[in-house]
Amino acid sequence: MENQKITLGTRKVSIEFPGVKALSDCDFEISTGTIHAVMGANGAGKSTLMKVLAGSNPGYTGEVLYNGEPVEVRTPMAAKNLGVQIVYQEVDMALVPSLSVAENVMFNDTVMNVKGKLFMNYTKLRREAREVLKRLNVDIDVRRPCASLSLAQKQMVLIARAIQNTCNFLILDEPTAPLSDTETEELFQVVRHLRETENIAIIFITHRIQEVLRICDSYTVMRNGEIVDTTPITPATTSKEIVDKMLGRSFDESFPKEVCDIGEKSFVVEHLTEREGRVKDVSLYVRKGEIVGLAGLVGGGKTELCKTLFGAFKKSGGTITLNGNELKIGNPSDAVKQGLSLVPEERRKEGVLVAETVTFNCAAACLSKFCRLSFVNDRKAAQNAEQFVKDLSIKTPSVRQRVANLSGGNQQKVVVAKWLAADADVYIFDEPTKGVDVGAKQEIFHLINEIAKAGNCVIYATCENSELLSITDRMYVMFDGQVMAELETAKTSEDEIMHYATGATTPFVAAG
Ligand SMILES: Nc1ncnc2c1ncn2[C@@H]1O[C@H](COP(=O)(O)OP(=O)(O)OP(=O)(O)O)[C@@H](O)[C@H]1O
Ligand SMILES: [Mg+2]
């Protein structure tokens, strides 16, 4: 059979949650053999629309269309029967870490179809899993337990599971957010390969517009639950036109550094070493009012350094002083008491209490501010939350909404708000803009600048070099748990950062 074109779409699909019209009258369509991006600000409705297609939002009104014909997709099974597969961002939740790669790839056979079968044929299972991975062109030992895989490999296992079943439409919800550049590149190869060899449609959600321009054939922009536009991507498509459509206004992506007075050395770290060797002999300092970057690739040791500073990892040597006083930090709670705050990288695991409200989360890092005689002053806490909802444009029907009901990016903003509210002297941010849309990113940058202007110390860790170049004053480049170089932002370049981030010990020489 020739590559037959199949389409999947929606006609006038709407969905309402208490207080939120998440989708209104969405008309959407994709066809097999293409890579299609779905873009939009945080809370625009991207994930909700995808969940409709994947059968996990049964409460929609309107119609889902398969080859133009209305179909009912009110259960994940109904969607799978139409060949619609989805890989959510939280890959860990979908995998069974203790089981092998083979068992996870062949999950449906292992768990779903065990009826009547007493024994599992492991040889067959492994062979089949190997064949599926081969279709993706990836090489992972199928006997390894999934717990030992990198994030990117875990994603591959889930994609393999998806295509092991009938798969015409593969939905990837923010797959690249946690990946390094190389891993992203590998994912793109797999995705292209699937389009070419298996005629699959890939729906790709991301906040990184450059990725869309590079790999997608067409894109849809959503705003406030509506579909704004669907267009092919041509060499003439620009990042600016996409952003303008997303935000509904003309938007300048560049972020000028706000000037602020830099004072004396305040936060000083000397010869810091982590017990398991994840941080090696790191020395750095931050002056009052200064924003200091931690640069480096994914896995270079930035997160490990942040966690060691914050007491979440145990230090085995070195000293940390604040304004001349040595800090004794045995755990995160000590760190908070001594004036440190950390916006962690993995928001859902460590950053927010998803079962609690926006108000509670925004107050959680500084409850004493809102307590009198062990009663929380609800009104004061609510006012604090309202302010952050405004400053960071957190999309929520009210501050009483449970965080679990917010979109991914808006949950991230709540984590940032929680730690911005803390009365700290040193603020550490570990990839705070991951999964956050371009508009919100600027708002976060602005608040970080405000913190610095108030005379605090800021440490900003990210692998996005463009962010470092726009908001920091100085930066340390890490590789393998060590600091390779200290650079002045105004005098450095992306090339110089990359030179040290890849482990070079020789001085950088600019090309040309
Ligand atoms: N189960 C739910 N209950 C209440 N509101 C919800 C629920 N699921 C989603 N919403 C709301 O629907 C809107 C759209 O959310 P959605 O997750 O689709 O956004 P998104 O475009 O994926 O954003 P992001 O880029 O932040 O992931 C948001 O306002 C969100 O708070
Ligand atoms: Mg989402």
What is the structure's pLDDT at 1?
Answer: 47
Q: CA 29, 40, 10: angle at the middle one, nearest 5?
A: 20
Residue 57 Cα, ligand 1 centroid: separation in angstroms? 12
Tokens of 311: 């007491």
Q: Which residues on adjacent β-strands are paired with residue 268?
A: 285, 321
CB 392 within 8 A of CB 447: yes
- Please give the number of the atom of ligand 1 that sits closest to the Cα of 49: 18
Tokens of 417: 């708000």
What is the structure's pLDDT at 298?
Answer: 84
What is the structure's pLDDT at 114?
Answer: 52
Residue type, 43: G
Residue type, 511: A
DSSP character at residue 507: P
Show the ligand 1 pocket: residues with CB < 6 angstroms: 17, 20, 22, 40, 42-48, 395, 405-410
pTM beyond 0.85, yes or no: yes
What is the structure's pLDDT at 32?
Answer: 96
- What gap in Å lies between CA 312 and CA 274, rounded to an integer? 10
Residue whose CA is closest, atom 31 of ligand 1?
Answer: 406
Burial group, residue 477, by CB count within 10 angstroms (0-12, 13-18, 19+): buried
- Please give the number of the atom of ligand 1 that sits closest to the Cα of 409: 26
What is the structure's pLDDT at 372?
Answer: 66
| Number of other residues whose CB lies within 10 A of the CB of residue 125 | 18
DSSP character at residue 462: -
- Please give the number of the atom of ligand 1 that sits closest to the Cα of 45: 18
**Mean pLDDT by 10-residue block, N- to C-terminus, for the chain (512 residues)?**
82 93 96 96 95 95 96 95 90 86 84 57 89 89 91 89 92 88 89 93 94 95 96 94 90 75 95 95 97 93 95 95 95 92 76 85 79 71 91 91 90 87 91 87 89 94 92 96 96 95 90 69
Residue type, 278: R
Burial group, residue 262, by CB count within 10 angstroms (0-12, 13-18, 19+): middle
Residue with token string 């990359």: 498
Residue whose CA is closest, atom 7 of ligand 1?
Answer: 405
- Please give the number of the atom of ligand 1 that sits closest to the Cα of 411: 26
- The beta strands (E) that lie in 308-366 are given as 315-322, 325-326, 340-343
What are the structural domain ranges in the chain?
A: 7-247, 262-339+424-433+453-512, 349-423
Pick the ligand that lies closest to the CA of residue 40: 1
Residue 47 Cα, ligand 1 centroid: separation in angstroms? 7
- 262-339+424-433+453-512: CATH topology: Rossmann fold (3.40.50)
- What gap in Å lies between CA 44 and CA 28, rounded to an integer? 15
CATH 3.40.50.620 fits 7-247, yes or no: no
Residue 243 Cα, ligand 2 centroid: separation in angstroms? 17
Residue whose CA is closest, atom 1 of ligand 1?
Answer: 405
What is the Cα 495 distance to its own chain's centre? 25
CB 106 within 8 A of CB 162: no
| CA distances in angstroms from 6 to 2, 65, 205, 325, listed in the order given | 12, 11, 21, 67
Residue whose CA is closest, atom 12 of ligand 1?
Answer: 22
CB 509 within 8 A of CB 502: no
- Please give the number of the atom of ligand 1 that sits closest to the Cα of 407: 17
SS (H, E, C) 247-279: HCCCCCCCCCCCCCCCCCEEEEEEEEEECCCCC
In 3D space, the residue among 413, 374, 376 whose CA is nearest the CA of residue 396 turns out to be 413
In 3D space, the residue among 490, 459, 428 whose CA is nearest the CA of residue 290 turns out to be 459
In 3D space, the residue among 387, 396, 438, 394 whose CA is nearest the CA of residue 413 turns out to be 394
Same fold, 7-247 and 262-339+424-433+453-512: yes
Residue type, 391: D
Count of residues for the chain? 512
Helix, strand and coil content of the chain, in percent to the nearest 5, comes to: 35, 25, 35
Task: Identify which of 20, 411, 444 to mutate to test ligand 1's pocket (most ligand atoms within 8 A of the CB).
Answer: 20
CB 13 within 8 A of CB 25: yes
